[in-house]
């Protein structure tokens, strides 16, 4: 007897601030990857399908996105382009004081 089946793995890739298509709020969205794997005797062997989706944390609406768009969103998140916590060049640098003639 051969036991086989599938198993789904959910992986959260990033959290992005997007304007939700359903509730219209610029809220945090989780970008998730859902991988379905073929299992044999409960051992996952290889992925059958990989899907990406964003989910609005405000209203819970989930929207599937193609891999290309997910990659783009990930790149945006990696650059910090989603908004939060982006360091501004120049601000907070240690500028040398007393560069004038006043000693
Ligand atoms: Zn929403």
Model confidence pLDDT, tens digit, residues 26-52: 999 999 999 999 999 999 999 999 999
CA of 8 to the centre of ligand 1 (A): 25
**What domain range includes position 25?**
4-68
What pTM value is reported for the model?
Answer: 0.68
Asked if residue 52 lies in contact with residue 91, where contact means CB atoms within 8 angstroms, the answer is no
E strands, 1-103, in order: 4-19, 26-40, 43-56, 62-65
Q: Is there a domain that residue 28 lies in? A: yes
- Residues within 5 Å of ion ligand 1 by Cβ? 20, 22-23, 56, 58-59, 61
Asked if residue 68 lies in contact with residue 87, where contact means CB atoms within 8 angstroms, the answer is no
Give pLDDT tens digits for 72-95: 999 988 886 545 544 445 444 555
Q: Is there a domain that residue 101 lies in? A: no
CA of 44 to the centre of ligand 1 (A): 34
Q: Is there a domain that residue 22 lies in? A: yes
Among candidate residues 42, 19, 31, 40, the one with its CA nearest the CA of residue 77: 31
CA of 94 to the centre of ligand 1 (A): 42
Which pLDDT does position 90 carry in this prediction?
A: 47
């Amino acid at each position: 007897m051969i036991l086989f089946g599938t198993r789904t793995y959910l992986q959260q890739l990033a959290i992005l601030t997007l304007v939700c298509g359903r509730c219209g709020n610029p809220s945090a969205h989780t970008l998730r990857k859902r991988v379905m794997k073929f299992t044999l005797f409960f051992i996952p062997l290889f992925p059958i399908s990989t899907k990406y989706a964003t989910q609005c944390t405000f209203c819970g609406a989930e929207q599937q996105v193609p891999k290309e768009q997910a990659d783009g969103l990930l790149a945006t998140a990696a650059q910090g382009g989603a908004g939060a916590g982006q360091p501004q060049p120049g601000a907070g640098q240690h500028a040398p004081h007393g560069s004038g003639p006043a000693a």
